[in-house]
Amino acid sequence: MGYYFNKILTDIPFEEAIEKTIQALKNEGFGILSQIDIKTTLKKKLDVNFPNYMILGACNPPFAYKALQVEDKIGTMLPCNVIVHEIANGSVEIAAVNPIASMMAIQNEALKGIAEEVRDKLKKAVSSL
């Protein structure tokens, strides 16, 4: 099982890919809690050049609440990260964490169904792009 799933978009500006990704996530009940601009951060902290790379911290509150009810330390694995990454030839890759893979580290069967539902919603958002 892979720890992420992805989709590559061609001929789309990076900023537009971010906007479309945020909207696709919103359509599946996710809000964005954080946006981490890796390119800018690495330039500022290490003075290195890096392609456009944004990490979106996505949260679906009802599912986060359910997960917290059955595993109070699950917050260490929240929110669900989704990346928007500029790759070669003007293409942009959108990739999301597979919650099933990350939940395997936790020995709590009650999380399995929640993780499956979140995975399905994330996959639907990514595939809709």
Q: How many CB atoms lie within 10 A of CB 14?
A: 18
pLDDT digit string, tens, across residues 41-81: 999 999 999 999 999 999 999 999 999 999 999 999 999 99
* pLDDT at res. 126: 98
Q: What CATH number does residue 36 fall under?
A: 3.30.310.70
Q: State which residues form the domain around 23.
A: 4-127
Residue 121 has pLDDT above 90, yes or no: yes
Rounded Cα gap, residues 118 and 25, in angstroms: 11
Q: Give per-residue pLDDT as tens, 85-103.
A: 999 888 999 999 999 998 8
The whole-number pLDDT of residue 39 equals: 97
* % of the chain beyond a pLDDT of 90: 86
SS3 assignment for the chain: CCCEEEEEECCCCHHHHHHHHHHHHHHCCCEEEEEEEHHHHHHHHHCCCCCCEEEEEEECHHHHHHHHHHCCCHHHHCCEEEEEEECHHHCEEEEEECHHHHHCCCCCCHHHHHHHHHHHHHHHHHHCC
Query: pLDDT value at position 1?
Result: 66
